[in-house]
Chain A
Amino acid sequence: MGDIIEGSMGLSGYDSQGFFCEIVSAANKGMIPQAVLKRLQGLDAVELMARSDAASRELYNLGITFTVYSDRMMIDRILPFDVLPRVIGADEWVDVERGVTQRVETLNKFIWDIYHDQKCIKDGIIPADLVLGNKNYRPQMEGVSVPGGTYVHVCGIDLVRDGDGIFRVLEDNARTPSGVSYVIENRHMMQRAFPDLVDAFGIRSVDDYGPRLLKAMLDVAPEHVGDPQVCLLSPGAYNSAYFEHIFLAREMGIPLVEGRDLVVENDRVYMRTTEGNEEVHCLYRRIDDDFLDPLAFREDSLLGVPGIFDAYRKGNVTLANAIGTGVADDKAVYAYMPRLIEYYLGEEAILPNVPTHICREPDGLKYTLDHLEELVVKPVGESGGYGILIGPRASKAELAEFRAKLRDDPANFISQPMIDLSVCPTLLEGRIVPRHVDLRPFCVTGKSSWVLPGGLTRVALREGSLVVNSSQGGGSKDTWVLMD
């Protein structure tokens, strides 16, 4: 049965309900020190609640928010913040770091390959149509070389912990993963609201992210430039992640620009300043491929910069992440990652995948249809937790409806066994209760890779819910990686 803590106001009666608990199970298995558990047991839920409310108000007033639209009104919401931290031991973190780095190295080699020799296809490692027929494959990138062979400069790899306490990769985010600003702001919030708690342990700092990202951008700037101008390219103030764009531009010490601030002349990119045009050499862009350049991609894009693709192709400006990395985000390509790691690096995957059935393959489809009520089925193209069927929780009608969808368009789906996602003690309405969590570590790559110690822990606030996305009622927690 689950781990039960008794004898304190806050965690008394906390029962992890048989799931792996990031605090209690981890402490009992020696993955984190018992002292962490003891300290959290000593907290008073009422006092916690008061400090937590103050922290939420502060987030709202500081505008640490994401933006949603409702009835044509723009509403700022904070990502609900839970004050009880998620804690990862020093030894375990070493494995996560190595596993994430290994995966990013593979992704970069894989993406270079698909836009050049396509050896992985010729060698039969991955089916051609999965790559070439992918809607995020950009034929325009074929033969284009990028500085250092780095395509995925910023990668967010979503991990979950299963019932045995093993981290598994759920998906790769190789386009424009967001959420890192919450990692850093959550820590600042904890330091203000719970200085006693934060100071009690040796926690690895997260403040290094901005300078590290800037260094990576300078690493990959066009080689002929002595003193490169780096900017962050944002879709603008109405984008849901605008706060993060501001935050990163400030942490990196670079200008935040929008498409309308940039102009391309003779295949060079300039920003419009009060002194006239000034050349830009490297863009950390938070605009999707589709909207980047109306001349090369979607014609109706008003967010992009006409002509920027040609400047990019000629090596006058570096874009990070590179164009065309979305192929790697695909949930069907994900299924091939363990084989790709072996193919490119000759190594076994340090972080295992969740076992995945590919419905485009007859065996995979048959297995999925036969075991639908045990499986989680996901559309391959979607992100944000949309369109997912959770077999064990679905009604007969929902199962029947999904069966039809699967038969109609099998290539659009993968299925996975239901993972007993780990839980973490979470403060809700004055009580401490178990809620499911995931983890998104961030990896920054210029000439070499660096993983931010920790990452974004998202928590599904609804009881029993497995969906952690902010657009669907998820919150976040501070993630502590302990020092040795």
Chain B
Amino acid sequence: MTQLTLLARFAEEISWMARYMERADNLARLLEVNEVFARDRRGEHNWDAVIDLNADRELFEKQHGATSPSKTAYFYMLDRDNPNSIISSVRSARENARSLRPLISTEMWTHLNVFFNELQAISATPDNIPNISRFCERVRTACQAHTGITEGTFYRDQGWYFYQLGKYLERADQTTRLVDVKYHTLLPRPDDVGSILDLSQWNALLRSAAGYHAYRRVHPRGIDPIGVAEFLVLNNRFPRSVRYCIGEVSNLLSQLIYTFQLNRGDRVAEAVDVIHKRLEDTDMQSIIDYGMHEFLDAIQLDLIAVAKAMDVAYFGQVEEDDVAA
């Protein structure tokens, strides 16, 4: 009787639990930075970018009509009807955790359970929201506690690797979106002759990715758009850069294939190699020549291909071609 087998469903659920927590963490950072730093030239909050970044405009307008700072913040913080809100992500993470309780540590479950119950106890409406910064800080702290508890208590069998895979795939996805949406809106337009680069906006972008301090260590002398984009996409030491995340995904997958003998992962590894190559064989100037949006879009499609390959290789899903046949 072996204890090392992992149910396909558990592998899937644990990678999703990690994804949802990573998503909540990223969203909290984004909202907080938007609240504190990102103001337009008249000093107003620009919340539209957050909606576009998450591709939620249609859903938002259906539920709330015209955007307003309070409504948008509510929509992302505590709106249970928005599947991408922080509370929905934490709820999904906790539902996965509930099902995963045979596998995860009691502390992981207890923490998530308490965290969700806390969020659920906050009373808020679209027009009456709690303090955004304090809320986001609480969410970030809880997400970091989750990461720490997981690191400190989760047994390092296959489950751990699927957890980490989910986390890094989600993080790569989030950073890609962030750069994609922000890069173009922040670049000075060709006709803005003589306008000064709005540094605070680039700072805010870095802060959204928790990269401001790290960036300043690498580039002590200043901030420039290409440098920021390069840092977030190609840097191989910053833990939220796309390249770093894909490197981790690649290592984790090798562990599953070689240490745990999960040979079905070969197809996943091929899909990861595609992204790896895309990131290794390039530099920032080539990306800009190719088109930043086009490049990031291609990475997003690659990430989707990796997720699909995992569904088939590990999560017991039938390949789409087989279904048709």
Binding site for B on A (CB under 8 A): 61-63, 227-230, 236-237, 242-243, 246, 249-250, 253-258, 260-261, 271-276, 278
In the complex the two chains form, what is the Cα distance from A473 to B93 in whole Å? 31
Please report which residues of chain B, range 85-112, place their CB below 8 angstroms from some CB of chain A when the two chains form the complex.
95, 98-99, 101-102, 106, 109-110
With A253-B3, A257-B7 known as contacts, the answer to whether A61 contacts B110 (CB < 8 A) is yes
Do the beta carbons of B9 and A250 come within 8 Å of each other? no
Do the beta carbons of A63 and B110 come within 8 Å of each other? yes
- Interface membership of B76, Cβ < 8 A: no
Do the beta carbons of A260 and B1 come within 8 Å of each other? no
- Interface membership of B184, Cβ < 8 A: no
Q: Separation in Å of the B101 CB from the closest CB of chain A?
A: 4
- Pick 26 A–B contacts, CB within 8 A, sort by A: A62-B106, A62-B110, A63-B98, A230-B1, A237-B95, A237-B98, A249-B102, A255-B5, A255-B102, A256-B102, A257-B7, A261-B7, A261-B8, A261-B9, A271-B5, A271-B7, A272-B7, A272-B9, A273-B5, A273-B7, A273-B8, A274-B6, A274-B8, A274-B11, A274-B158, A278-B5
B287 cross-chain contacts in A, Cβ below 8 A: none
A246 cross-chain contacts in B, Cβ below 8 A: 101-102
In order of increasing CB-CB distance, the 6 nearest A-B pairs are A237-B99, A256-B102, A272-B316, A272-B8, A246-B101, A273-B5
Which partner residue on chain A sits nearest B263 by CB separation?
A275
A272 cross-chain contacts in B, Cβ below 8 A: 7-9, 316
In the complex the two chains form, what is the Cα distance from A117 to B316 in whole Å? 45
Q: Separation in Å of the A345 CB from the closest CB of chain B?
A: 35
Which among A62, A237, A272, A273 has the highest number of chain B CB atoms within 10 Å? Answer: A273
With A62-B106, A227-B1, A274-B158 known as contacts, the answer to whether A236 contacts B99 (CB < 8 A) is yes
B109 cross-chain contacts in A, Cβ below 8 A: 62-63
Which of B99, B101, B113, B314 contacts A274 (CB under 8 A)? B314
Do the beta carbons of A61 and B113 come within 8 Å of each other? yes
B269 cross-chain contacts in A, Cβ below 8 A: none
Do the beta carbons of A255 and B99 come within 8 Å of each other? no
In the complex the two chains form, what is the Cα distance from A257 to B6 in whole Å? 11
Q: Separation in Å of the B111 CB from the closest CB of chain A?
A: 9
Do the beta carbons of A273 and B102 come within 8 Å of each other? no
In the complex the two chains form, what is the Cα distance from A233 to B101 in whole Å? 15
- Interface membership of B261, Cβ < 8 A: yes
Please report which residues of chain B, range 105-163, place their CB below 8 angstroms from some CB of chain A when the two chains form the complex.
106, 109-110, 113-114, 158, 162
- Interface membership of B262, Cβ < 8 A: yes
In the complex the two chains form, what is the Cα distance from A274 to B102 in whole Å? 17
Q: Separation in Å of the B153 CB from the closest CB of chain A?
A: 14
B113 cross-chain contacts in A, Cβ below 8 A: 61, 63
B106 cross-chain contacts in A, Cβ below 8 A: 62
A62 cross-chain contacts in B, Cβ below 8 A: 106, 109-110
Binding site for A on B (CB under 8 A): 1-3, 5-9, 11, 95, 98-99, 101-102, 106, 109-110, 113-114, 158, 162, 260-262, 264, 314, 316
Do the beta carbons of B98 and A242 come within 8 Å of each other? yes
B316 cross-chain contacts in A, Cβ below 8 A: 272
Which among B106, B113, B158 has the highest number of chain A CB atoms within 10 Å? Answer: B113
Do the beta carbons of A250 and B1 come within 8 Å of each other? no
A249 cross-chain contacts in B, Cβ below 8 A: 102
Do the beta carbons of A255 and B7 come within 8 Å of each other? yes
Q: Separation in Å of the A225 CB from the closest CB of chain B?
A: 10
Do the beta carbons of B5 and A275 come within 8 Å of each other? yes
B99 cross-chain contacts in A, Cβ below 8 A: 236-237
Q: Separation in Å of the A2 CB from the closest CB of chain B?
A: 42
In the complex the two chains form, what is the Cα distance from A249 to B102 in whole Å? 7
Which partner residue on chain B sits nearest A237 by CB separation?
B99
Do the beta carbons of A258 and B9 come within 8 Å of each other? yes
Q: Separation in Å of the B166 CB from the closest CB of chain A?
A: 14
Do the beta carbons of A229 and B1 come within 8 Å of each other? yes
B95 cross-chain contacts in A, Cβ below 8 A: 237
Q: Separation in Å of the A417 CB from the closest CB of chain B?
A: 44
Which partner residue on chain A sits nearest B107 by CB separation?
A62
B98 cross-chain contacts in A, Cβ below 8 A: 63, 237, 242
B264 cross-chain contacts in A, Cβ below 8 A: 274-276
Q: Separation in Å of the B306 CB from the closest CB of chain A?
A: 16
Do the beta carbons of A274 and B262 come within 8 Å of each other? yes
Do the beta carbons of A63 and B101 come within 8 Å of each other? yes
Which partner residue on chain B sits nearest A62 by CB separation?
B110
Do the beta carbons of A275 and B261 come within 8 Å of each other? yes
Do the beta carbons of B6 and A273 come within 8 Å of each other? yes
Which partner residue on chain A sits nearest B256 by CB separation?
A274
